[in-house]
Structure 1
């Protein structure tokens, strides 16, 4: 099926309208009628309604409380049907949405509280779009830069933890400019979610998880032995020191950049790195030692 986003909405509304007795009219943000026949009477009520990630105005010859019920019914029914159509689109199953908002960044979210998180995302990203496929929330963000997607997703993760007070895993698929790229991004992001059951929080990005995927293929006994061997050197590291290690590795062993991210002086960071070397025997400024440390963190995070 080849159809526009608005065409899909009108098709869904027509199906709904044929099965209910209450006539209604849908207006866009400019007040232009996009669905329904003109209503006649003095008791026309109207209310804003959220359909396929846009705000419309719904009009009907109903008391306000019944109009609210109609809005709720339309919102959940349209969303369920749209999510099914989007699932077909993102899986390449003979469905094409001609005006899908490309380019976009794709992020998959897993949590026990997806309904709360979805409502929150729709509030803060007015031009974004969300959909549910099984137990995964898909967030399509209007951006074309991967670094921007990473920064936005990290900020989103932190905001979810603070504002919604729930843990979540966010897996990035990357930037998509077409349906084929969106399908690939979705599949890559799903692959990263195999680690979600082992790490119940954080932001994952499949192209940057080659080491994690490689370690996952090792026999569990080898992983267990290496982890135990390294633990002897790490038991005296506090949470602030572990955070310093993570930031330094994330900044590709760049001292000045890591110091800026940690909001500390360069010399303070060098002192911390020296202290880490004294405790663990690993100098993180040395690539081989940094790899050993990275493996230890992966084992602690995921295994």
Structure 2
């Protein structure tokens, strides 16, 4: 499409600029020219180093000016002659063609369109009009992954993930900022959460195992229709935030599996503080040491089963019963009772949430 775009501009300028003008690509092939017979010719004398810089250069009676949006220039304009006027023409053409291409990419590039959709930078009424203009399939099932880079080296995680999903007509890898990458993946309607977690796990393993780059991934819920992609991406972000508070050891967090943590995360911190003060009127949760909290955690993991928990902790059953009685004495909650256990479990989550989001008075 760039070839036709450039040729249209060159064709309009050929009467204004009374010299041979044109454009070559990064392989030194003429892709547009005022002299149509030259299109397709290859200038083998132009080296990679010449095109890697934005500095104009003269070769075989032509003045060249590289341009493009990549770190290494994608194209170069050329104008017949090596005088000052040829250089001015080349500079003006490079600026004009570079601006036109940038505008065209922003207007018609699907990746940029998807980025605007998931970041809510496009009006809902314009989404389907734009999708139709781009011939974008709006009705398939897609899901958003939020990928946060924790530690990295010189390898670009964005490039690695792009290589993992090369089908750019179905899957979109979007650079949000220095540490965040979004993946919008087309999936089958019957794909379940386990399949999505396996896919996320393959990304984590590839980045960490081969490139020593560590990341965490949040998974939104699958959606049908492009308009709901923003919701799926927000869910992926929430999954990352909730995981950072409640599941610090997990590298993959799915919004569908957040459970009660999602509810706690959305509560105002002032309300959480009131809840803790009502449940532990004497502030007794602060009096529990790390060993006691570890015992409580294992007791919950073993479904309030005293015998199984004592076996996993390698302590006598009576020792565990004594610890539970001590907790009851300190807090007024008997963890062997289901309702008290629920209250205590929620209280621990609220405490962890408040620790990561301190109340501002």
What TM-score bracket applies, with the shorter chain setting the length?
A: 0.5 to 0.7
Partner of 1:235: 290
Partner of 2:141: 103
RMSD between superposed Cα atoms in Å = 5.2
Please state how far the C-alpha of 1:138 moved relative to its aligned partner: 0.9
Whole-Å separation in 1 of the counterparts to 2:312 and 2:166: 43
Whole-Å separation in 2 of the counterparts to 1:188 and 1:141: 15
Partner of 1:138: 182
Against the structure 1 CA distance between its residues 66 and 42, is the aligned structure 2 distance closer, same or farther, given a 3 Å change threshold? closer
8 Å CA contact 2:117, 2:227 repeated in 1:
no
Are 1:89 and 2:133 matched, yes or no? no
Partner of 1:129: 172
Whole-Å separation in 2 of the counterparts to 1:284 and 1:152: 39
Partner of 2:160: 120
Structure 2 length-normalised TM? 0.49
Partner of 2:42: 41
Whole-Å separation in 2 of the counterparts to 1:159 and 1:64: 31
Partner of 2:231: 184
Please state how far the C-alpha of 1:240 moved relative to its aligned partner: 11
**Aligned partner of residue 139 in structure 1, secondary structure:** strand
Structure 1 length-normalised TM? 0.56
The gaps in structure 2 that reach 5 residues or longer are 11-20, 33-38, 54-67, 76-100, 328-333
8 Å CA contact 2:150, 2:216 repeated in 1:
no
Partner of 2:199: 152
The gaps in structure 1 that reach 5 residues or longer are 1-9, 27-34, 44-60, 256-266
Could you report, residue by residue, the CA deviation over 1:262-290 in whole angstroms, capped at 9, with x for unpaired residues?
xxxxx977832896965566769957625
Whole-Å separation in 1 of the counterparts to 2:237 and 2:211: 24
**Aligned partner of residue 220 in structure 2, secondary structure:** strand
Larger Rg: 2
- Aligned ranges 1:206-221 → 2 under 5 Å: 206-207=255-256, 208=258, 209-219=261-271, 221=273
Please state how far the C-alpha of 1:182 moved relative to its aligned partner: 1.4
**Aligned partner of residue 189 in structure 1, secondary structure:** helix
Highest relative contact order (Cα 8 Å, sep 6+), 1 or 2?
1
